[in-house]
Structure 1
Amino acid sequence: MNDEPLAWRYYAAALSAALLPALLAALLVWQVRSADYASAGRSVLTTAKGVAGDFDNTFEQFDALLKSIARQYVDGVESGSEEKPRLIQRLQEELANIPFSSRVFIADSYGRLVLGGGAAVQYATTGVSVADRDYFARSKAGEQGLMFEGPHRAKFGDEQVIVLARRLEDGKGGFLGVVAGSIPVAYFQTRIARDELDPHGDIVFRTTNGARIAVHSADPADPADPGGVGVSEVAMMAAPASPALFQGREGQTLYQAASPLDHIDRLLAYQKLSHAPFYLLVGQSTASVDRSWRRLASELGLLCLGVTLAGLWSARRLHASAVTLRRERSLLKQRIADRTRELEDSAQELSAVLDSVVTRQESDRRRIARELHDRLGQYLAAMNLKLGALERCGPDVALLKSGLSDLKDLTGAVGSEVGRIAWELRPVALDDIGLESAVRHFIEEWVQRSGLRFDLHLALKGRRLPPEVETTLYRVLQESVTNVVKHAAASAVGVTLTTSPNDVVMTVEDDGVGFDVDEVSRASPRLGLRGMRERLAVSHGSLDIESRPGGGTTLTIRIPLAGRAP
């Protein structure tokens, strides 16, 4: 027998079993990757928000300083005070708490510096003017609020600065000039440099019109000069073309994009400042995020490979065991077949014993029937003769004659009944002249008793069957006709008996009420069907029943003749 297909089924089952942990591993890797990207996204957003918050506080603190200087200066101008040294002293005390300030100055309505200098406000140098600055023109035009300008080179030095300015006006709203201060770009550079970056990560501080203020980059290819453009900034320019990964309510946006400068994929956090026209851009390369889940994927991949190899090895062992088991099962089937043949032989022996028992039973019935018919009948006939003599010769009264006449009728009836019982126990004709004559005699009796119409077709043509077969058929016919009379409410019964070299078939049909065969088979054997089947089983015969409610009933009795002695 070819076992190759069986082997492939085992290997296929092993691979299918290995598929489940592989799918679970893939799901776990995907969840870890999603969690890592979510964590990285939160990290860059948090960094951007933290730095932006620091810069917002810086601008708020510096704006408070400008408001304080402006208020003191306007109060002095309106009061006509010329005590500039006292004003400078108060301003120096406030400036001591603003270490990030580069310079603070006041210009009059013509743009000429009234006060100005370094971290400490000094008297202005003659001829210095800020009338050409944009914030002065905007203030003069009436713009209120804090104004920002830069980054650009400072008027008083060589450094890059961001300028914050406010309009000065008198109590009637008249233009008095501007109060302004500058914060060096180096301050912002120092602040963002405190945050640690992964390889190819950077933090960029820019104005909303795109001018770079400061940058902190771990990529040596990223230029650090103010006003330059780095890899993350170029990536950010392309990022809005893709949907945002996150959109916050506080000016936060998270993108994922690759920079055309170095083609490195990054997570980019965009954070707009609340009180200034600037924004923070924090970039982190996705390669650093991918390391964790890729390492997990490699480890789980090796584990799944090991599970698959172990499954294939187990499949090979199981296949070998299955081949061995199949061989042993084949041997077991052979042993069962041998045992079955032994049981069949035993069953045949048992059947022979049952046949012998039935034969003995029928022998006893024949003996009893002959005794009842011959001996008891002779005695009753003698009694009848005696009583007849008494009736003729005695001088008895009419009453005695009447009684003797009744006694004579009774003894005649007893003789008839004894003959009937003897016939039912064992019809003598069944032994003497065969089944066909016995059946005809039996039907004639039932015609007289029941008034049914019988249609006989007996095709034995005087052929004698084995005694046990004739006896079985006769008894089954007795039970069948009895059932018709008791239960069928029929008007006609047909009996057919045919034979062949191999079997004998008897059919009993009626036009009665019929019944549901399945229901009767499940119910108690009230129609004697079980008894007929058991009697036929002894002769290895069969009983087929065809019936339906309102459609009559047909019984087909079949007994094999092959191998039986005539």
Structure 2
Amino acid sequence: MRLPLKYQVALAPALIIVLLVALIVYLQYELNAIRAENEAVREWTRVVETAGAAVGGAVNLDQVAGYIDWTRRTDAGNVAALEDFHFRYLDQYRDLRQTLAYPGYWDRLSDESRRFIEAIDQDIRYAEPLDTDRARIALAELIPRLEEVQSSFLAKRRYAFTEYYRNVNRLTSSLGVVATITLVAGVLIAVIASLWTMRTTRRRLQRLAQEAGAVCELREPGSTSLVFGRDELEDLAACMQNMTRRLVDVVGSEKLLEGAEEERRRIAMDIHDQTLADITSLMREARALSEVKGLDETSRRRLAGLAQGLEELTGDMRRVIDDLHPQTLEILGLGAALRSHLEKRLGGEGQPAFYLNIDREGERRLTPFARLGLYRILVEAAHNVVRHAAATRYEIDGRLQDDTLVLTLEDNGRGMRVEEVRGQGRGILNIERRARAIGAEVSWGRSRFSQGTRLEVRVPLTATTPADHPRQAHG
């Protein structure tokens, strides 16, 4: 399956973007891991600080208990000092309990350490009267345990620091390797995708340039085009300019023919309404004068001859009017108008037989200008057959194929080479010019008879609602 051009152009950038996104995802994943380890190191730092505070709190509590015990022995009457030491003991105890209750610290203690601290708490808790000996004995057991816990946490923090920096170094190294690999792979993929896109696009542009060149040079599409030695886009631009000029010429020819046909119609109407009416009136007047009584025989014969000449002139004028603009074409249609012309002008003794068959539905869908153009083309071709082909039979057939009306004229004459006779007269040029004016295609070939020529005219039809018209033969 061939990718559309826009996807081919976007392929290389898309692959690079995919690689960059993958690199960013990998980097984000590693950074998240490093961030988690960094947070763990920071948490261990807080835990170690808490462990140090717990050891310090236990030592301070032991000192306050010692002060209370010493004051009782040496200065028992100093009630104010004892009361102050009692309050200090209570504050130190609360601070120690709060320090030990820190979740990061308490949760990392072993179950045995937690049970030991909870048991010691019963001995050091402040109560009236305060048993300082019991509290100091308990604190003497608690402080070494807390120092042991602090040492354990310090070792774990050092291990977390070591792992953190090791992973940072690993990430730095791996990131450099991955970035290098991604860069090299991206460059290779971009080069390969760009070369493939350039090759594919160039091949398609060359094919398009060849087909456009064939159209510009009026050759069959697919044949080898001229090599201009320039960029394909410049060739296409030149072909577009050439086709634009040809299109302007065709449109100009169409407008010129439309104007000419309109002028012919106007002249034909003027001749019919004025000149022909005047001649008919003169003919009737001459006949009326030839029948006047008392007129000598010579004058009578001369007036009768004048009336006969005027009648013949009337017939000639009607033929001229029909040549200028066939009225039967507008009234009866293409098939009937062709049949009438062929029977009147090309029929009779010694003339080749003809067969005429045009699809009514296809004829109905023709525009008036296309109908008139086809009439002129087929009349011109039929006259050429009668004058030059030495044929005994010719056939005109019109068939509807999808949205195209295909008209063919075939004869059994001696045939011809279009290239050889193209410059010998204007018949073929007129046919091709009229065909281009109505947007039709003309082709010449061998007849289906044993010999002779085939003319084919393909006319694209305008979009209309099909009607139920049967295919009818006109001859």
**TM-score for the superposition, normalised by structure 1:** 0.38
Q: Which has the higher contact order (CA 8 A, sep 6+)?
A: 2
Flag the structure with higher strand content.
Answer: 1
**TM-score for the superposition, normalised by structure 2:** 0.45
Larger Rg: 1
